[in-house]
């Protein structure tokens, strides 16, 4: 394995495109993950939003990595402007295979951090997805904790397959609001496919953050930090919702482990070129 080295640092005075170029990606199993510190990625994402650059962010965990075995979805994730190391298994694989001192950049942490950055810069935030009730809870909490934050719009679309969604209508609503940052909660892989379809239509940066809506709204609870640090957050979630999450966590995590060990063996005996 490679000798560990630090994540790249980013020039705070760089343009959005220059910041993005300073945050390279590294291959991790089926996807490419953005390298860079948490604060650097928050600033770079906010820069894209402030510039109204049509772009999107995938927060990559084990589930998304397994879904990306399908070539079309792999292209969606690799086409993201930022693909953050959301899940601890993905982070550990990245650290082990590439020797980078990468921080976790999880959607659950990005949402409040970007709210704070948006409030500081005066950027408009749009909420897309989840339910009206969840969105209102988010608005209420943000109003209490970040009175300077501008949530300029919200929309809970009717449930439809991605290819039947109203792309033009959604883009018109979002752009009319003047939003710089669009928080998207449709679940994986739907929200990633939606963002990819909306790139070039939406004048801002979109983040697929799924369950972060429920956490920020106070409906879901997060695992204790010691469990997160030991890559056991999935155990906590499975304990809370065993029926809904059994397949996602038990089956999907098992497939992720197979992918991980196949790549580890490949690198050990067949060189370090990342699998594709």
The CATH number linked to 176 is 3.40.50
Task: pLDDT band for 21, please (50, 70, 90 cuts).
Answer: low
Give a yes or no: residue 157 inside a domain. Answer: yes
One domain for residues 43 and 158: yes
Residue that terminates a domain, selected from 216, 244, 259: 216
Res 194 pLDDT > 90: yes
Domain range for 153 = 5-216
Give a yes or no: residue 275 inside a domain. Answer: no
142: CB partners within 8 A, 6+ apart: 115, 149, 151
Res 87 pLDDT > 70: yes
One domain for residues 195 and 247: no
Res 33 pLDDT > 60: yes
The mean pLDDT value for 80-97 works out to 94
Task: pLDDT band for 12, please (50, 70, 90 cuts).
Answer: low
One domain for residues 243 and 139: no
* pLDDT at residue 36 in the model: 94
Q: Range with the lowest mean pLDDT among 87-91, 186-190, 248-252? A: 248-252
DSSP state of 29: T
Task: pLDDT band for 3, please (50, 70, 90 cuts).
Answer: very low
The pair of three-digit structure tokens given for residue 173, joined into one six-digit string: 């609503």
DSSP for 175-193, please give it.
HHHT-SEEEEES-TTHHHH
One domain for residues 76 and 209: yes
Tokens 């109203």, residue?
Answer: 166
One domain for residues 241 and 180: no
Give a yes or no: residue 276 inside a domain. Answer: no
The mean pLDDT value for 222-230 works out to 68
- Per the structure, how many domains does the chain have? 2
More confident residue, 18 or 80: 80
Please, what is the end-to-end C-alpha distance for the chain in angstroms? Answer: 18
The neighbouring-strand residues paired with 43 are none
One domain for residues 187 and 237: no
One domain for residues 57 and 180: yes
One domain for residues 118 and 248: no
Res 2 pLDDT > 50: no
Give a yes or no: residue 247 inside a domain. Answer: yes
Q: Range with the lowest mean pLDDT among 72-86, 101-115, 144-158, 223-237? A: 223-237
One domain for residues 205 and 76: yes
Give a yes or no: residue 23 inside a domain. Answer: yes
Give a yes or no: residue 108 inside a domain. Answer: yes
Burial of 191 (0-12, 13-18, 19+ CB in 10 A): buried
pTM: predicted TM-score of the whole model, two decimal places: 0.85
One domain for residues 60 and 123: yes
Residue that terminates a domain, selected from 195, 216, 237: 216
CA distance 115 to 123: 9
The pair of three-digit structure tokens given for residue 95, joined into one six-digit string: 């650290």
Give a yes or no: residue 32 inside a domain. Answer: yes
One domain for residues 134 and 23: yes
Tens digits of residue pLDDT in 120-164: 999 999 999 999 999 999 999 999 999 999 999 999 999 999 999
- For 57, list phi and psi in degrees, rounded to 5: -125, 130
Res 111 pLDDT > 60: yes
One domain for residues 264 and 128: no
């Amino acid at each position: 394995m490679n000798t560990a080295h630090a994540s790249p640092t980013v020039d705070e005075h760089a343009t959005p495109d220059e910041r993005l170029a300073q945050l390279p990606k590294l291959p991790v199993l089926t996807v490419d993950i953005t390298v860079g510190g948490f604060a650097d990625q928050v600033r770079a994402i906010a820069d894209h939003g402030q510039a109204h650059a049509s772009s999107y962010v995938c927060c990559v965990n084990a589930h998304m990595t397994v879904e990306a075995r399908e070539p079309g979805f792999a292209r969606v994730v690799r086409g993201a402007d930022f693909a953050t190391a959301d899940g601890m298994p993905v982070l550990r694989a990245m650290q082990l295979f590439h020797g980078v001192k990468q921080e976790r950049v999880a959607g659950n942490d990005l949402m409040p951090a970007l709210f704070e950055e948006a409030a500081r810069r005066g950027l408009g935030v749009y909420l897309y997805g989840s339910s009206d009730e969840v969105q209102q809870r988010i608005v209420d909490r943000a109003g209490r904790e970040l009175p300077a934050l501008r949530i300029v719009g919200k929309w809970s679309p009717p449930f439809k397959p991605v290819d039947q969604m109203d792309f033009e209508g959604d883009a018109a609503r979002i752009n009319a609001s003047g939003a710089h940052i669009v928080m998207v909660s449709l679940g994986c892989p739907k929200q990633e496919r939606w963002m990819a379809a909306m790139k070039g239509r939406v004048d801002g940066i979109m983040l697929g953050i799924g369950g972060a809506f429920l956490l920020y709204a106070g409906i879901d609870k997060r695992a204790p930090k010691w469990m997160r640090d030991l890559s056991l957050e999935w155990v906590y979630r499975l304990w809370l919702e065993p029926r809904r999450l059994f397949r996602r966590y038990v089956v999907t995590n098992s497939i992720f482990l197979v992918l991980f060990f196949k790549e580890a063996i490949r690198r050990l005996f067949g060189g370090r070129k990342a699998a594709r």
